[in-house]
Amino acid sequence: MCIHRGGLTHQLLFDLVYRLAAGFVERKRLGRILAGPYAMELSYERKFEPDILFVTPTAAARLTDDRLIGPADPVIEIASPSTRAYDRGEKREAYRVGGVREYWIIDHASRTVTVDRPAGREVAAATAGVVRSETCHGFWLRAEWLWADPLPTVEQCLAEFVTP
């Protein structure tokens, strides 16, 4: 089965967020950032290929050649028209049940970043503001970066991470 991953906007947004997360995690030595089609196995029957997954040094022991056994934290999905309902519905519930402590859905069409955390706590940012991770300590995204046209460079964004 071929899953449509979106068009140019999706790809450019994925590239920006992946490179930001990877650059941040590498600079801080917090673990590893991986991307789909690398799989995350939440149970024998439930395997997913998140757009972006963060693997802590402790969780690295659960890495195999083709999948992470157990949840990553956080997991980031870039919503596309063909996956939006699935990302917000069935996948969100499976991630909750499977132990994902933080699930980000970046939706360019609606200009929202939704962060789903345990106990149903959500943080939603519309077109502005900073969205912070509680599981990848110190990582954050400025929503304005995600909606800009053109998107900012990775270097511009990473410079803000080190600026007080």
Q: State residue 151 phi and psi, 5-degree precision.
A: -65, 150
Q: What's the pLDDT score for residue 124? A: 67
Residue ranges making up the domain that contains 143: 8-157
- 122 falls in which pLDDT band (50, 70, 90)? confident
Q: What's the pLDDT score for residue 100? A: 94
Q: What is the pLDDT of residues 60-75, one digit of tens each?
A: 999 999 999 999 989 9
- Is 92 within 8 Å of 102 (Cβ atoms)? no
Q: Is residue 81 part of a domain?
A: yes
Q: Is residue 1 part of a domain?
A: no
Q: Is residue 147 part of a domain?
A: yes
Q: Does residue 52 surpass a pLDDT of 70?
A: yes
CATH number of the domain residue 22 falls in: 3.90.1570.10
Split into its structural domains, the chain has a count of: 1
Q: Is residue 146 part of a domain?
A: yes
Q: Is residue 2 part of a domain?
A: no
Distance (Å, whole) CA 77 – CA 79: 6
Q: Is residue 104 part of a domain?
A: yes
Q: Is residue 163 part of a domain?
A: no
Q: What is the pLDDT of residues 6-37, one digit of tens each?
A: 789 999 999 999 999 999 999 899 999 999 89
Q: Is residue 3 part of a domain?
A: no
